[in-house]
Amino acid sequence: MELTNSGVNVRGFSCAGWRKGKYGVAMVLSDVEVNCAISVTSNRVKAAPLLVSLDHVKMGKIRGVVANSGNANAYTGVGGVQDAKEMCAFAAGKLRLAAENFLVASTGIIGRRLDMDIVKEGINFVSENLSSSSKASLEAAKAIMTTDTTPKMISVKTSLKDGTTVEIGAIAKGSGMIAPKLHATMLCFITTDAYVPKDKIKKILANSIDQSFNMTVVDGDTSTNDFVALLANGMAGNKDVDDNFVEALNFVTREIAKKIARDGEGATKTIKVKILKAANLEDARKAARTVVGSNLVKASIYGEDLNWGRIIAALGYCGAEFEPEKLSISINGFRLVDKGRVLAIPGTQEFDKAKKSLKKSEVEISVELNSGNASATAYGCDLTPEYVKINSGYTT
């Protein structure tokens, strides 16, 4: 597997991005119909574009995605659904396609109708400026940003076991309202030139999300607009996918998840939580998500305060099965607790070294539950005054 600079513009795909004030529009298009899987928020309130996309994906004729930033088109009733449909129809009309050839996504403020004149202006631009360049992929990534401070893009090539070389690329946005119930205020569009069978693609995407986006916590809030799509156009010519493809896809989604955590609203540090020796995978994931999502853990990391008791407390309510007296905890490789024996007492070398290591921009917390052989990793960031500032004035 090797990194490339294609972004979503792997073989047979093109894209474009446009911005005007707070609004942005992006389009990703395949030369041919794709096999497609999508995953949307678990929030009971689902934005209008998600409802339209869920209908369109069932028809099995997807060619691409049209998306806007600056307005979520969520909790906008029947009119919002009509606006989402109009986005698809307008994009389709520009390219001599059908409305059902498009998925549609939005991100931004909830409860307000789209300014369709601006959205159409953006669709006009992107439909006329589609390109297969790396630069175009970057512009599309920028177009869907809201509170993000940096665009998120990645792509990789790998070889299948039959010798076929395939490429997988992605662009995404997300920095706040990030929680592990798919997903966050995040959009992620993944493309591949591999052929991924219809009977496999949904499960492959779901499994990839479980080990990446569903293990990422910025603030614990789950948005109305979370959307992930995997579009496979089959132009690589393979007849099936294998573990090499799955490994590459999982790498792509994990790296995007890390980028989202690193760009958490107001974040100064990223946090990686590894749970080892759990009774089972579900316990490992619950423990990792709980620790990385704890506001008290996040605040202590921001303040470079070695209050590892916050980790103990989070583990205690995470729902995983373990014996407290068997826990081992390390921060940045420095052992704080060893099978229930406290090592990091103020004044000890362990305490001083671990505390000093909290000055790093990346903090890794490792926990051994010592109740089995399962493991999981979660990603997040610290909780800062800047996060409060950003979200106390989001609509103003």
CA separation for the pair 229, 57 (Å, rounded) = 10
One domain, residues 249 and 275: no
Q: Which of 207, 229, 262 is the last residue of a domain?
A: 262
Question: Mind listing the pLDDT tens digit for each residue in 258-295?
Answer: 898 877 666 788 999 999 999 999 999 999 999 998 99
**How sure is the predictor about 393, in pLDDT bands with cuts at 50, 70 and 90?**
low
One domain, residues 344 and 223: no
One domain, residues 97 and 218: yes
Question: Does 394 score more than 80 pLDDT?
Answer: no
One domain, residues 249 and 379: no
Give 16: exposed, middle or buried? Use CB within 10 Å, 0-12, 13-18, 19+: buried
One domain, residues 274 and 246: no
pLDDT score recorded for residue 233: 98
Question: Does 220 score more than 90 pLDDT?
Answer: no
Helix (H, G, I), strand (E, B) or coil at 297: helix
What is the helix (H) or strand (E) element at residue 336, kind and residue range? strand 334-338
- Find out whether the peptide bond into 183 is cis, omega within 30 degrees of 0: yes
Helix (H, G, I), strand (E, B) or coil at 360: coil
**How sure is the predictor about 186, in pLDDT bands with cuts at 50, 70 and 90?**
confident
pLDDT score recorded for residue 130: 98
Alpha helices by DSSP H, 34-74: 48-59
Q: Which of 205, 240, 262 is the last residue of a domain?
A: 262
pLDDT score recorded for residue 384: 80
Question: Mind listing the pLDDT tens digit for each residue in 296-339?
Answer: 999 999 999 999 999 999 999 999 999 999 999 999 999 999 99
Owning domain of residue 199: 2-262
Phi, psi (5° rounding) for residue 386?
-65, -35
One domain, residues 243 and 275: no
One domain, residues 160 and 177: yes
One domain, residues 220 and 319: no
Question: Does 180 score more than 70 pLDDT?
Answer: no
pLDDT score recorded for residue 43: 87
Question: Does 232 score more than 90 pLDDT?
Answer: yes
**CATH number, position 104:** 3.60.70.12
**How sure is the predictor about 221, in pLDDT bands with cuts at 50, 70 and 90?**
low
One domain, residues 172 and 279: no
Q: Which of 227, 262, 297 is the last residue of a domain?
A: 262
CA separation for the pair 125, 90 (Å, rounded) = 12
pLDDT score recorded for residue 183: 43
pLDDT score recorded for residue 264: 67
Task: Taking the CA atoms of 333, 334, 340 and 341 in sequence, report the sign of the dihedral they define.
Answer: positive
Query: Contact, 266 vs 387, CB < 8 A?
Result: yes
One domain, residues 55 and 83: yes
Query: Contact, 16 vs 24, CB < 8 A?
Result: no
One domain, residues 251 and 278: no
The catalytic residue among 147, 158, 185, 253 is 185
Question: Does 181 score more than 70 pLDDT?
Answer: no
Residue 146: active-site member: no
Section 375-393 average pLDDT? 81
